[in-house]
Amino acid sequence: SMLTPFLNAGMQLWTKGIADPQTIDKTWMLGTGSPIGPMAFYDIIGITTPYNIYKLQVEHGKQEDQAVLDKLKTDFIDQNKLGLSTGEGFYTYPNPAYQKPDFLKAPPADLSKVSIKKVVVAGSGVLGYQIAVQTAFHGFDVTVYDINDEVLNKAKGKFTALTDAYKHDLNATWQQLDATATRLSYSSDLADALNDADLLIEAVPETLAIKQDFWEKASAAAPAKTIFVSNSSTLLPSQLAPFTNRPEHFINLHFANHIHIRNTAEIMGHAATDPAVYEQIVEFAKAIGMMPIELHKEQSGYVLDSLLIPLLISGMGLWASDVADPATIDKTWMIATGALFGPMAILDKNGMNTNYNVVKAIPGELTQHIAEKMKTELIDKGKLGEVSGEGFYTYPNPAYEQNDFLK
């Protein structure tokens, strides 16, 4: 129930040409700490199995799977590339790339392709401030812009806690962190912040109206050379670029929370994005220590959420339909895939209000049933997940972190 929608999501990303197999797997492995991604999973299962499943579905009238079937046939079945059993599938065997030590290492940047020196990060909230610190840590001058000095002072107050994590997780030195602090400046005046900016990274709230207003003002204030980038989680570049005076210099660059350790940067242009801008942003992402996740086309939810949401919905569905309890659902996923967490633990980390909003927005009998049960059994009782000390698990020390959970 969980594996099929998850694997299908990976297959769709590949056959629609959104991302390469290795990129899909890297995103999953880095984003969730799993030892394996969906495309490597297909190799282990054997490509004949998904081929037969999609064939059956097409025969039963699911015409949209014909493209998947055709691609599996020409790229794999006809060439006897059936996965692990024949020595080649999405990877080659033995020693497939995904098991090599450097598979998840951020590659070095080609700095000859990066003309960016001064970066402005707009929005100093959860993600914006992390992006600013990560960028300054890697040697760029960064101005943090926000609506007023009070908000900016709040952001400055997060520097020590944030950089303590750099010391703990990355062994960063005092000298590196002092240098990071000196590269950061703060401004609540947009025109002043954008003076001479090469790159503007927008991390303002996820509301179309706020983003529209911001991009219109930034367009009026920024020099012609400034590349525009949005960290939006749900709005596509083609939705935001029309609010700017430079759609060809507009691109989405999406970071994950705890950016210094979950270092994926999903890069998504739109039809009008200049390929040279795309290429420069890929190199910039590497230059700030990120693993660039290159999307070849627009895709709502990028790669990570496209894989994660089907898994979370199937986990929630098993719970809401009383098929299995949360710990059983997670144990199954963790044992079967070697993952550190199951879907129910991830839901606790996301917070129940976010889960509710996501699932409620998806039409369908099951999703509406999940939303209803989540509201009455969890949200109305203040069980909001890790943040409130209780969700599907109790915190601190949730059961899935105990040594005997998988015994």
Task: Count how many residues are written for the chain.
Answer: 407
How far apart CA 72 and CA 373 sit, in angstroms, is 39
203 binds ligand NAD (CB under 6 A): yes
Q: Computed over its alpha carbons, how large is the radius of gyration of the chain?
A: 22
Whether the CB-CB separation of 54 and 128 falls below 8 Å is answered with: no
Q: Minimal distance in Å, beta carbon 27 to ligand NAD?
A: 14
Whether the CB-CB separation of 169 and 87 falls below 8 Å is answered with: no
In the sheet that holds 184-187, the strands lie side by side as 184-187, 141-145, 118-122, 199-202, 227-230, 250-255, 264-268, 291-295
Q: Minimal distance in Å, beta carbon 156 to ligand NAD?
A: 12
How far apart CA 220 and CA 330 sit, in angstroms, is 50
By C-beta, is 97 or 151 nearer to ligand NAD?
A: 151
Whether the CB-CB separation of 311 and 25 falls below 8 Å is answered with: no
27 binds ligand NAD (CB under 6 A): no
Q: List for the chain the helix, strand, coil content (%; round to 5).
A: 55, 10, 35
How far apart CA 303 and CA 293 sit, in angstroms, is 8
Question: How many DSSP H helices and E strands does the chain contain?
Answer: 18, 8
Q: Segment contacting ligand NAD (CB under 6 A): 10-18, 43-51, 201-209, 387-395?
A: 201-209
By C-beta, is 240 or 329 nearer to ligand NAD?
A: 240
67 binds ligand NAD (CB under 6 A): no
Site for ligand NAD in 259-298 (CB under 6 A): none
The count of chain residues that interact with ligand NAD, using the rule CB under 6 A, is 24
By C-beta, is 288 or 320 nearer to ligand NAD?
A: 288
Q: Minimal distance in Å, beta carbon 53 to ligand NAD?
A: 33
To the nearest 10 degrees (0 to 180), the angle between helices 3-15 and 38-45 is 110
Q: Segment contacting ligand NAD (CB under 6 A): 79-87, 146-154, 331-339, 363-371?
A: 146-154
By C-beta, is 8 or 230 nearer to ligand NAD?
A: 230
Site for ligand NAD in 117-136 (CB under 6 A): 122-128
- CA nearest neighbour of 204 among 120, 302, 119, 128: 128
151 binds ligand NAD (CB under 6 A): yes
Site for ligand NAD in 206-265 (CB under 6 A): 206, 210, 214, 231-233, 254-257
By C-beta, is 151 or 272 nearer to ligand NAD?
A: 151
Please give the structure tokens belonging to residue 257: 């929370």
By C-beta, is 209 or 407 nearer to ligand NAD?
A: 209
By C-beta, is 31 or 96 nearer to ligand NAD?
A: 31
Site residues (CB under 6 A) for ligand NAD? 122-128, 145-147, 151, 203-206, 210, 214, 231-233, 254-257
